[in-house]
Amino acid sequence: MRVAYTPLSLAILAILLSSIAHAKVGYLESVDTETTVQESQKATTPKDATIEGTAIKDTTPQVHQLQVITVQAHPLSQNENDLVQTSNILEKEQLSQGAATLGDALNGQLGIHSDNFGAGASRPVIRGQTVPRVKVLTDSSEVMDASQISPDHASTVDPALARKIEVLRGPSTLLYGGSAVGGVVNVLDEKIPTQMPEGAVDGEVHLRGNTVANEKLGAAGITIGLGEQFALRLEGDKREADDYAVSGYTHDGEKEKRVDGTWNEGQNATVGLSWIGDRGYAGVAYSERKDQYALPGHSHEYESCHPHGTHLHCSSHDDHDHEEEDGDDHDHDHEEHAHEDAPWVDLKSKRVDFRAEYQQPFAGIETVRARAGYTDYQHDEIEEGEVSTTFKNKGYDGRLEFVHVPLAGWEGVFGAQYSNSEFQALGDEAFLPKTTTENLAGFLIEHYQWNDVHFEVGARVEQQQIDATESGLKDYDDTAYSASASAKWQFAPEYAASIAYSYGERMPNAQELYANGVHLATNTYEIGNENLGKEKSHNIEIGLSKDEGDLSFAVNAFYNQVDDYIYANTLDRYENFRLVEYQQRDADFIGAEGQVSYQFSPLYRGKIFADHVQAQFKDNSDLPRIPATRTGMRFDADFADGIHGGVEYIYGFEQDRIADFEERTPDYHLLNLDISYEQQPSDSWSYQIYLKANNLFDQTYYNHASYLSSIPQQGRNFTSGIRFRF
């Protein structure tokens, strides 16, 4: 079933009217006051991609080559070459051509996978870790939605409207959370202008479609100067897609051409206003988001399942034969009892953001930054035309950062943040009680350069209180401490070595403490544990890189030792339904990432890459949903003025290191192509036309990091689009 709605078209309408009213406007590639960008008139080489000590950039060639990129999630907005630890960067062009959900948009970056739940929801998986060990931010502010509760809950950040996504690791992550062992994903947008448009108006319009799901997407944004010191921002997008197509998918003994329950629709609209002065800015924005998407793999035959001790009882307490703990014999046929009409989610979110920055406010401080936000989030899970469960989250957060003047050569930032969220679930699957979570934290990050060595240290203390009194449960109150130190040595021209160590403490969240009930989206009965303590992780990473010359490379290795790792332990299984309880065990994560690039000529460049992660408990048993090893190669070329193309091959290994009750996933081969044509007819506007082909082999393959690892990923897909910038 689909939901009918009236599109929020204010932003797109304003752009169309403005483009008619203004015959000539100034063109400026979006760069805010925290970003230094140097553009060449014509790219002669594709963008490079390196790992350790620099930011990983997509190697798809572009007309405007970004030669110097500042990482804004870093507290000092450092140049990428000065970063001590790994950072991934996706620019607006890659985001506009990529997936509509956050995890899938980042999937394919070194060390990053996705735990996609059909096509409507996905979260990033970084080195085998996902939320809550991966922190997702919207321009350094908290994202107050329900995506941390379950993988079937969509993240409310929108890659289609983002100007950049940064993935940060190392000491700088302590600005945002001590639990971010995997990293921080900061989604930067343009909803609050930070500088005046060069002409009367700056803007962009983007249209895109694909074949695998008949996707149609339109996005637009406009910044209008109001006098000399005020700027108005209007932006919005709308998308819709059918169930996606696959090859070789068997459902109830019959081959299916599409995966039922993978359609999705969404729309987003924002209005923002800023005051912009010589030394800073202050602005506010209001956003509304609506999403509707189906939930595949949902089965109601397990509604009556409930635990008796550590065993499941289903179908009116009938006994059942438990599955063997070894999951090697399971195949990848779709669930046997899927409904014809898949349940779907109706999501609505309203958000207000405030952002400000001021240079040299008083003696000893170079910059002060402020962020605050309020979110009113709700989504209904609808089955057979009726609302079965409602999730609500109302929350607000604020943070204040002070960048101090150098002290004895040390540059740094200190500050505090506060957040408060009230979460509740209502209805048939209300497996979580009403809770109020309050966090208060202080942090300090410092950077020092001694000759050719960069040092970075950080510390964070965070207090968390979870009030569950209204639900008759025990409240939670604890404090976590985290610290990190790293160094990067430029031991020779073009070469650098790095090492980093961090200690982090993560407190359990409300779901891990208080869950109790059936969660059909993940086919589980979840049992929380009020006696959970803090996770304590010791993490070390080493790296070696060469970032200049025809030959460049980067390789790094990491080891995470986590004491009292919190996880959902499967106690019993009936068919595809599992009884899980949140428990704690010591666990180890070990892995490596690397790539080698070579510039064959000013027009041609190639690279090879690979990433691997392995996660085990101390008894050598494997953790669930760990991504398989992945390797591949890519070749990029500038064929002519403004014409760029690339070919990419990816091989995903079989994942046979599986947890109890898990199924293995087979290996796969992916072949992808892309070509684009970009021109700037005048100083006032430019355009780009692109065509992408993904999974040209039409391979049937599976994502082991997903809760729906038995449902195949998208088949052969052709995507085309056009972008206008003015």
Of 374-378, 448-452, 659-663, which range is least confident? 659-663
Tokens 């980042």, residue located: 106
The CA distance from 418 to 441, in Å, is 7
Q: What local confidence, expressed as pLDDT, does residue 471 receive?
A: 78
- Per residue in 310-350, pLDDT tens? 889 887 545 544 444 444 443 433 333 333 478 999 999 99
For the segment 261-294, what is each residue's pLDDT rounded down to a tens digit? 999 999 999 999 999 999 999 999 999 999 999 9
Q: What is the DSSP string of 313-358?
A: EBTTTB--PPPPS--TT---PPPTT--SS--EEEEEEEEEEEEEEE
Higher-scoring residue by pLDDT: 469, 70: 469
Number of CB atoms found within 10 A of residue 708's CB: 26
The predicted-structure confidence for 167-202, as pLDDT tens digits, reads as follows 998 788 999 988 888 899 999 999 999 999 988 899
Per-residue pLDDT for 371 more than 90?
yes
Q: Which of 344, 370, 9, 414 is nearest to 171 (CA)?
A: 414
Residue 67: what pLDDT? 43
So what's the pLDDT on residue 62? 40
Question: What pLDDT does 425 receive?
Answer: 93
Q: Report the pLDDT value the prediction gives residue 40, as an integer from 0 to 100.
A: 37
> pLDDT at position 28, please?
32
Q: Provide CB contacts within 8 A for 386, sequence distance 6+.
A: none
State the virtual CA torsion across 130, 399, 397, 178 in degrees, nearest 10. Answer: 30
Q: What is the pLDDT of residues 517-528, one digit of tens each?
A: 998 888 899 999
Name residue 189's amino acid: D
pLDDT at 449 exceeding the cut of 90: yes
Please say if the pLDDT value at position 15 is more than 50.
no
Distance CA 371, CA 73 (A): 13
- pLDDT tens per residue across span 30-49: 334 333 333 333 333 333 33
The arithmetic mean of pLDDT across residues 694-706, rounded, is 96
Across the chain, what does the average pLDDT equal? 86
pLDDT interval class at 85 (50, 70, 90): low
Question: Per-residue pLDDT tens for 581-626?
Answer: 999 999 999 999 999 999 999 999 999 999 999 999 999 999 999 9
Q: What is the mean pLDDT of residues 46-54?
A: 34
- Say if residues 571 and 311 touch (Cβ distance below 8 Å): yes
Query: Can you tell me the mean pLDDT for 452-470?
Result: 94
Enumerate domains of the chain plus CATH numbers: 10-314+333-725 (2.40.170.20)
* Predicted local distance difference test score (pLDDT) of residue 472: 84
- Per-residue pLDDT band at 554 (split at 50, 70, 90): very high
What single letter denotes the amino acid at residue 393?
N
From the list 708, 146, 123, 101, the residue with the least C-alpha distance to 389 is: 146
The pLDDT value recorded for residue 345 is 96
pLDDT given at position 179:
85
Condensed to tens digits (0 to 9), the pLDDT of residues 247-263 reads 878 777 778 899 999 99
pLDDT for residue 178: 85
State both tokens at 158.
């929108």
